[in-house]
Structures are given as structure tokens and as C-alpha cells.
Structure 1
Amino acid sequence: MRIDLHTHSTASDGTDTPAELVRNAAAAGLDVIALTDHDTTRGHAEAIAALPEGVTLVTGAELSCRIDGVSLHMLAYLFDPDEPELLAERELVRDDRVPRARAMVTKLQELGVPIEWGQVARIAGDGSVGRPHIATALVELGVVPDVSAAFAPDWLADGGRAYVQKHELDPFTAIRLVKAAGGVTVFAHPLAVKRGRTVPETVMAELAAGGLDGIEVDHMDHDEPTRARLRGLAADLGLLATGSSDYHGSRKTCELGEYTTDPEIYGEITRRATGAFPVPGAGGRRS
């Protein structure tokens, strides 16, 4: 059983539509895929409608959080998307994305980059605009060779020359809200140091005490020693250890199913969730 619990579609900053994503998951031999767009559940309905037989969809989102000045991402699975308090917070984050992106474009222009808002808006399309869309614009302009290179201090990294902070949840609040909505929380790529500052293990322990369910261990931004360290930390803190691709379509080099989650861990996630249930594929037809 092959399970990938972290992917993105055009509903946020991926390049596959939700329908394309689930079809590509089937082609990649996945049995279970989670759709975890940034701060939105807007792609779920399309993914469910197109879900091929033999593939199960886990509905979710990747929530933007910040603690002690450090950004982090919280994967939330199988929560009730209509729970009012969590929905309100997701909308606050979403509504802040456009002003924030416009401010980053202005900063880049001040740095001499010939970027225009219209270019970024075109790249984002109907998705929730974010740094990957601006990074793609920088690639198009020849400023950087690839999207990853844009996430450097010279450009879009946390604290970088063109960085602008957005509204983000306190992670303890995020855990509380997701649990109240019947969901399960997993700290995404917690030691991805190439993305910028990461939270110390003491904070991870506090999050575990605050109700965190798991940490994402097997991820493209974690090398082997980091994965071993995180696996030991998960065991010490009683946390679930997941693996995921963090697939963004052509925007990143990772492939669907590049890293996967153990079926027993997946089973425990579904057992803990009460806000929603995994959706089995119906061959792209819903009756």
C-alpha cells in the first residue's frame, strides 16, 4: 500500500489541477493521496469528483503558522472544513495573501527586478497566490535558475530582501482548532533548514504536549541523518512519523510517491480523525 500524505494543486501553488493530481496519483501507483493545499480546501470537491477507482483521497490543508518569529507549516487531515473558527482563521490567512504578494513584488521592483503584478497573477491563476508563484516569475525572468534558488536570503527566504510576513496562526492555536474540528495534525518538514530558520526540538516537545499528532520525517528537504534524528524524536515524544512527497507538479523536482507513509501510521491517523473520512475512488463518477 503506497500512501502520500502531502500534495498541492492549482487550488494553491501546485501546477496540477485537483482532477489531474488524483489521476496522476493513480498513474504513479498510489493507493492513498492527501490533498493539502495551503490554507484552503477549495480543491477537494474537484478531486473527489475525478477520483479514480482504487485511489483513496484524504482531505486536508497545510496551515501557515509562526512561533517566536519562525514560520512553520502544519498539515491538518480529515477535519470538518465548515467548522466556523478554523474556517475563519483560514480565510484570514487567505485574504492576506494578495496584499503580501503585491508587497513582495514592490520590494523586488525596488531591487531592480523587472517583475510585474500581472505576471504573478497569471502564474497563480485561480490558486491562492504565494511565494512559489513569485519564484516562478523570477525563473521566467532569468533572475534565478529554478524555484528553489528563489528561496534564498537574496530573494524570498524568510527574512530575505524581498520577504514580507503574512498573517499566520500560532501553532498551538492551529492544533487546538484542528482538533476541535475533528482533525489530525502533523508538523510538516520540521527540519527543512534550506527553507530558513527551524524551531528547536524543545518547541516540538511543547507542541507534542499541546496535542500534536505527528511529524513529517521522510521528506525531500531532510537528509538521512535528519530523518534518523526525527524518527528518534518522534519515538521519544510519542508522535506519528509520516513520509510524503510535498508534490507541487512541475514547480518542484519531487515526484508523487517519492516518500510515503507506513500503512499502520495512516491507519492510526484515520482512527483519530472524526471530522471527515477518507474518500474511496469511484472511477471519476459520483452517484
Structure 2
Amino acid sequence: MRVDLHTHSSASDGTDSPAELVRNAAAAGLDVVALTDHDTVGGYAEATAALAGPEAAGRLTLVTGAELSCRIDGISMHMLAYLFDPAEPELYRERELVRDDRVPRARGMVARLREMGVPVTWEQVARIAGDGSVGRPHIATAMVELGVVDSVSDAFTGEWLANDGRAYVPKHELDPFEAVRLVKGAGGVSVFAHPGAHKRGETVPESVIAELAAAGLDGIEVDHVDHDDATRARLRAFAAAHDLLATGSSDYHGDRKAVRLGDCVTDPEVYREIARRATGAVPISAV
């Protein structure tokens, strides 16, 4: 069984529509895929409908989820939330606050880039984002279109859009302890996304992750393209020492990044434990 528990569609900052993501996951030989768009569940209906299509029917199980934007002690981090009840009011309200802040934040970054001489426009960024939840990757794509940087990844530096970069603008973000509480209250399972991705900026100390584990965090993402072998070994040992589930996933964004579906995967037993713990929703299959 091949399980990929971290992917994005055009409902946030991926380039595949939710239906395309489902079809591409089946074509990649995955058995289980999680749709974890940033702070939104907007892709659920389309992805679920696509499970009945000939490319995926009987071959793929969909795990619904989201990647929640969090911050602690000035450090930005992401929390993967799986199989929660999307209608639960507390978590719904926080997701809406984060999502609603994305537009003014993106406009602020466009304004800063223009002050720096980059001729990006809000209309260009809005076109790239489409109906998705606008974010930094859409601005980075605009910079690629203008020839300012060669790739989306090249825009995520201190020179441009990285955390505390020259054009960076913060947004409303959850306290991770509150995120763990809200996800659990909505019947979901929480996993700290790419905790050792140092190239993205400052990372959360392991002492804080230990406190999150004591507060109910379910797991950490260990096998991720932004983690080298030494980091994966260290995180796996940390997970074992703190009774945390160790997951793996691609963090797929379609054509926006070079990562492919299934580049990293989760142990099937870990996936089954996530499904067992969840009470807000169940994995969806179409036969």
C-alpha cells in the first residue's frame, strides 16, 4: 500500500485541480492520498466526485484534511490536520480568519515588491491564483513569469518572500497549541508538517515539539523532500521517544514544484492508526 498524506490542489497553491489531483494520484500508483490544501476545505467536493471516475474508481482512497498556518515565538510553522469535521464551528472560524487575511497580506507583498522595482501586479497574482486561496507561491509564480527569478523556490529567499524576507508580510496564524486543541475538538488528527525544513527559515525547537506532543499532537512528518537523511533519522528517533506517529509525504504542488506524487510515503500501519484515531470524518473510497 502506497500512502501520500500531504498534497495541494488549485483550491490553495497547487496547479492540479482537485479532480486532476485524484486522477494523477491514481496514475502514480498511490492507494491513499490526502488532500491538505492551505487553510481550506474548498477542494473536497470535487476530489470526492473524482473518486468515482474510471481512472480512480476502486483504486484510490481519499483522506480529507488541511494544512493550517501556525506561528509560535515568531516562527512560522504548518500543522497538518486529518479527517476533522469541516463544519465544527471553532476550527471553521479560525480557518476563515486565516483565509480572509490572505488577500490583504498578498496585496501587501505585491506592494513591497513594486517598491523594490519588481513590476508584479495584483491582477497578475489574482489570475494565477484563480479560485484558489492566494498565497506566496502565486506571487512567486508571477515573479517567474516576469523573469525576476528562475523558479518558485528561488523566490523563497531572504531577498524576496521567505519568512522575514524583504517582501514578506505576516498573516493571521494559529498558535500551534490552539491548533492541536481545535483539531482534536473537531475529531481530527494533527501532524506537524516538515519540522526540520531549515532551508525554509527558522524551525521550531524540539523542546517545543515535545510540549506539543504532551498537549496532544499526534505525529510529525519525518519523510519529506526538505529533510536530508540525517534529519529524517533524528526526527524518527524523536517521534519514537515522544510516542508520536512518523509520517511521510510528497507535499505535492503540481507543476509549481519539482516534487512528484509518492516521492515520500507513509507506513500503511501509521495511516491506519490515523484513521483509527479520527472521529470527525472517515477516509473516502469509491468502488
- Aligned amino acid, residue 274 of structure 1: T
Q: Residue 167 of structure 2 aligns to a residue in which SS?
A: coil
What residue number does 1:285 align with? none
Is it true that 1:62 corresponds to 2:67 in the alignment? yes
- CA distance in 2 between partners of 1:261 and 1:281 (Å): 21
- Any residues of structure 2 matched to 1:45-84 within 5 Å, and which? 45-51=45-51, 52-53=56-57, 54-84=59-89
Q: Distance in 1 between matches of 2:37 and 2:167?
A: 23
Residue number in structure 2 paired with 1:123? 128
Give 2:109's match in structure 1, choosing from 92, 96, 104: 104
Q: In structure 1, what residue type is equivalent to 2:109?
A: M
Structure 1 distance, partners of 2:69, 2:81, is 11
Aligned length: 282
Please tell me whether the aligned partners of residues 57 and 281 of structure 1 are also in contact (alpha carbons under 8 angstroms).
Answer: no
CA distance in 1, matches of 2:127, 2:67: 23
TM normalised by structure 1 equals 0.98
Tell me by how many angstroms 1:160 deviates: 0.4
Is 1:89 aligned to 2:94, yes or no? Answer: yes
CA distance in 2, matches of 1:112, 1:166: 23
2:36 is equivalent to residue 31 of structure 1: no
Secondary structure at 2:80 match in 1:
strand
Shift >4 Å, 4+ stretches: none
Note the 1:176-191 alignment, pairs <5 A. 176-191=181-196
Q: Residue in 1 aligned with 2:7?
A: 7
Q: By how many angstroms is 1:281 displaced?
A: 2.4
How far is 1:186 from its partner? 0.3
Separation of aligned partners in 1, 2:283 and 2:70: 25
Match of residue 232 from structure 1: 237
Q: Cα distance, 1:182 vs. partner?
A: 0.3
User: Deviations 1:141-193 (Å, cap 9, x if unpaired)?
Assistant: 11111011100000000000000000000000000000000000000000101
Once the two structures are superposed, residues 187-234 of structure 1 have per-residue CA deviations (whole angstroms, 9 ceiling, x without a partner) of: 000010111110111011011011000000000000000000000000
1:12 CA displacement: 0.2
Q: CA RMSD in A?
A: 0.5
Q: For 1:260-275, list aligned pairs within 5 A.
A: 260-275=265-280
Give the corresponding residue for 1:156.
161
What is the aligned counterpart of 1:214 among 215, 219, 244?
A: 219
Give the Cα–Cα distance (whole angstroms) in 1 for the partners of residues 148 and 227 of structure 2.
27
Note if 1:22 corresponds to 2:22.
Answer: yes
**Partner residue of 2:170?**
165
Runs of 5+ consecutive residues of structure 1 not aligned to the other structure? 283-287
Q: Within 2, Cα distance between the matches of 1:106 and 1:157?
A: 16
Question: What secondary structure does 1:33 align onto?
Answer: strand
Identity %: 76
Q: Classify the secondary structure of the residue corresponding to 1:265.
A: helix
- One-letter amino acid matched to 1:269: I
CA contact (8 A) 1:40 1:94 kept: yes
Gaps of 5+ in 2: none
Measure the CA separation in 1 of the matches of 2:168 and 2:158. Answer: 9
